[in-house]
Structure 1
């Protein structure tokens, strides 16, 4: 026995150093939770968290029901829990294309299309029977086409075309057919027509008319009025126009921030409004009859940050809602996809990953994900599990899911997924995303990313095996256990001796007649339905030559599973006698080659 102790100590010391280096890497598992096979990555969209579920619109490949067109779906994070809510438009190849989801009083309201009613207002509670038409706004097969759904003070507001109408009007609803009316009818005064974008700003509704007039309403006659625009008097259409366009409404502490292209002033700037004419004015980044072409207005730490262009260049700007407080943070950047996450501003700056704490010194490039002249174009920044997740292209693997803690070394690609689509949403402790698996040729499907500390599937310990050349070998591989949402699993076995094969499946058989003596490191892998790895187990098969014999004992490359913390030492040679193993800092001498690295040491 002493010769094995002496023989193994030095390799074990080297192994301990290698393990310490390996633990700097982290892995997160993604599991496939749908088999809808949408024909395009954009075929799954409009993700929204609702009552602990993901509600979304999805098309199929035409082999299921409904076929082809987008319909209403739900997912709870498991394969069995993903399915159709209701086939609203059963006509083959069409779909109802549900969109514009907004929650009110425990239900979701949205627009959907049928052959009988056109595109109208619908509601769902996430069940088949609870998914119904609210009202046929434009009676018959013509479409009311509700859009820009918005909840203010417990009521639903939206724009839609009435029966016999030609342009969209402003509507209000309590969620019932009888309680869904034109706002002008409900409060008894004109509210304008050709209504476009709506937004909840504080406890009021701001909306635009004709793309150039700003109105405000609190849902009452006294609180509904024209604010600013052109013509100055809406009843005098021949009057001078102020705005060529207004858009991008943002709530800034109960005041409206928007982009206004003031044709009469020759400006395209950031504007602010308190709901009065006098309180609606530009916050000029490029003063005078010039334009700064602002975009990506984002509220952060009591200010509004945005992209703007001036003679000094394009870059990140900030305003506190006053002209004096409107200034450049850092020039030389083209800021897009700006979003506040995890106490920082993240954005694509010059088409790479940047972050900012709101100061010039604190505005820095996080990582050049696509080095050189290429661009990674990071987008869809999402807060999940203490990190910021986003989509980017490193120039090699395509559009993939990434995560960052705000540092270069802490910015890593999630390797358990393949190419991803733009849609992503957090539902409680679950992150959903449409993506391909890591298996070549796989379709886009809905996946769920597991938190970094999610317990992986647990395998039944597999004892090391011994066989002899030419003698029948037989072994049963037990199924892994773990959380129900990980299953069903597929199994594979790699590293088997020549002449031995795996039958496949849970409870599969490893059997055959080994042909070559040696010590073989065997890996049992479990993958989710989409092919993403979720767990592994390791053991050795020692095949002795006919008549016994042996060779010098050696330690082969160790195997470390960062998912479970399992470290397996792999010996080679020997004569079949018992071997003792040791890893400094983990366990003293023992006969098992399998060690478990504590979570705090990983």
Structure 2
């Protein structure tokens, strides 16, 4: 790996706020806001805070206009795509506090850059699509080193390239769409090696192509939808590359494919004001219609415990009437009509709580919802009425903290939330109010850094945020377990 002109760049490190810091009073209340007590740890020898040391060690806080994106964890480090003057957009990586970000390999020398995208972990590599200026957009892999960053296969020789897309990991394979002259756009898969990269199936024999969409991992299978002038077809592809038709519709659009256990849920839109919920098993032609929904189409499908959870019942954006009794609420389905119902009517009446940002962690569903008097806050559910409740009222009053960008990794939930005193910043929770903490205050005072794209790497959390609206950069914060705060760690008043 090499650093551009010897200067490590692109990572701004914020460690002034830590998971489990404070370790004293459970919360402090002020300005109508309930927040976790947050302090920086201090080095007894130097008197420096973690934040001061981290900023100095990392060098420049950011490169203006770097626009990092496609954050992905792999090979013991974070990979991402970013821009730099004279390099264009290339592949970068960072090990966190131990070292700042550097270019993995300058695949396309000069200012244009290779534009890496679709970063997808597989085994000890991260796969991605890039254009080196000679082969066109093709599939590449990296182990984080210059010599270990190579093209997987030149599917379409020449500067045009095969333009791989829709990279989807299924077990030890990554499926993707690619185009060559002999087959048109078809389904391919790879194990990360050239010999293990091959065409899976021609859905339209010859150079012609169908539209291939909605590639979805389903256990050790892949589900996808193809469209032709005659029909929309739902397929499954097994580990041997054998394809089966699960459902064929002469009209309409198939969407929201969600695998939960041995079931595959999806929506069918036939052009009316009604969305049809369907479910399929692994058998050919097994798809059955479960229930119809009026108003806004069901959304935020999330699998948990062999069921699927989603929001349904809200009025449509063009006035289509939804559920006049419950409004938009949290639903669940086990694939049967009797087992498809509202989990809890959080905001009784036709408006509904409008749950969003659904994510499952350790058998519990987390989401943002509004109950009509405490604003939009963080909720949790085990799928039952009594097991559905608010985690914590982060911003007291009707305004709400409006949680967004929920990500669950390794038993921790990361999200952004907005409070009166600190604006929108990064938060963490394990699902219980006493272990729900604000991690950062990057933008001063009530301003917001608007963090998102959270990726955990060991004991650190990477994410994108900005001190102002125009300086978005990559940040990393160290995470300390709550248990580390025990045993008098906070007795000196400095946190742990």
TM-score by length of 1: 0.61
Question: In the alignment, which of 229, 232, 244 is matched to residue 225 of structure 1?
Answer: 244
1:296 and 1:267 map into 2 onto residues whose CA distance is 17
Asked if structure 1 preserves the Cα contact closer than 8 Å seen for 2:331 and 2:340, the reply is yes
> Which residue of the partner structure matches residue 71 of structure 1?
90
2:247 and 2:278 map into 1 onto residues whose CA distance is 11
C-alpha change, 1:229 and 1:91, in structure 2 (3 Å) is farther
Asked if structure 2 preserves the Cα contact closer than 8 Å seen for 1:387 and 1:404, the reply is yes
Q: CA deviation at 1:352?
A: 2.9
Question: In the alignment, which of 291, 295, 306 is matched to residue 284 of structure 1?
Answer: 291
C-alpha change, 1:22 and 1:345, in structure 2 (3 Å) is closer
Matching of residue 177 in structure 1 with residue 177 in structure 2: no
2:295 and 2:482 map into 1 onto residues whose CA distance is 50
Matching of residue 269 in structure 1 with residue 269 in structure 2: no
Q: CA deviation at 1:371?
A: 5.1
Asked if structure 2 preserves the Cα contact closer than 8 Å seen for 1:202 and 1:255, the reply is no
> Which residue of the partner structure matches residue 386 of structure 2?
361
Ranges in structure 2 where 5+ consecutive residues have no aligned partner: 1-22, 29-36, 41-49, 314-322, 346-351, 371-375, 444-448
1:323 and 1:423 map into 2 onto residues whose CA distance is 36
> Which residue of the partner structure matches residue 6 of structure 2?
none
Secondary structure of 2:385's counterpart equals: coil
Larger Rg: 1
Question: In the alignment, which of 246, 253, 256 is matched to residue 254 of structure 2?
Answer: 246
Question: In the alignment, which of 68, 91, 103 is matched to residue 44 of structure 1?
Answer: 68
Asked if structure 1 preserves the Cα contact closer than 8 Å seen for 2:258 and 2:308, the reply is no
Matching of residue 91 in structure 1 with residue 104 in structure 2: no
State how many pairs are aligned: 421
Aligned alpha-carbon RMSD (Å): 3.8
> Which residue of the partner structure matches residue 311 of structure 1?
324
C-alpha change, 1:402 and 1:110, in structure 2 (3 Å) is same
**Cα deviation 1:249-283 (Å, max 9, x = unaligned):** 222113222232244x8641332111445421232
2:387 and 2:98 map into 1 onto residues whose CA distance is 43
Q: How does 1:374-523 map to 2 (within 5 A)?
A: 374=399, 376-383=401-408, 387-395=412-420, 397-407=422-432, 410-418=435-443, 419-436=449-466, 443-452=471-480
C-alpha change, 1:302 and 1:206, in structure 2 (3 Å) is closer
Q: CA deviation at 1:387?
A: 4.4
> Which residue of the partner structure matches residue 211 of structure 2?
194
1:73 and 1:423 map into 2 onto residues whose CA distance is 16
1:131 and 1:194 map into 2 onto residues whose CA distance is 31
Q: CA deviation at 1:407?
A: 4.8
**Cα deviation 1:172-211 (Å, max 9, x = unaligned):** 334333543322379x999973222212212222111128
Matching of residue 207 in structure 1 with residue 224 in structure 2: yes
Question: In the alignment, which of 125, 142, 145 is matched to residue 127 of structure 1?
Answer: 145
1:260 and 1:202 map into 2 onto residues whose CA distance is 22
Q: CA deviation at 1:114?
A: 3.2
Secondary structure of 1:423's counterpart equals: strand
Q: CA deviation at 1:354?
A: 2.1
C-alpha change, 1:363 and 1:220, in structure 2 (3 Å) is closer
Asked if structure 1 preserves the Cα contact closer than 8 Å seen for 2:185 and 2:209, the reply is no
> Which residue of the partner structure matches residue 129 of structure 2?
111
Secondary structure of 1:117's counterpart equals: coil
Q: CA deviation at 1:416?
A: 4.8
C-alpha change, 1:178 and 1:366, in structure 2 (3 Å) is closer
Question: In the alignment, which of 263, 266, 269 is matched to residue 258 of structure 1?
Answer: 266
Secondary structure of 2:180's counterpart equals: coil
Asked if structure 2 preserves the Cα contact closer than 8 Å seen for 1:403 and 1:412, the reply is yes
Which is bigger in relative contact order (C-alpha 8 A, separation at least 6)? 2
Question: In the alignment, which of 299, 305, 321 is matched to residue 301 of structure 1?
Answer: 305
TM-score by length of 2: 0.73
Secondary structure of 2:201's counterpart equals: helix
Secondary structure of 2:147's counterpart equals: coil
Q: CA deviation at 1:49?
A: 1.8
Matching of residue 144 in structure 1 with residue 162 in structure 2: yes
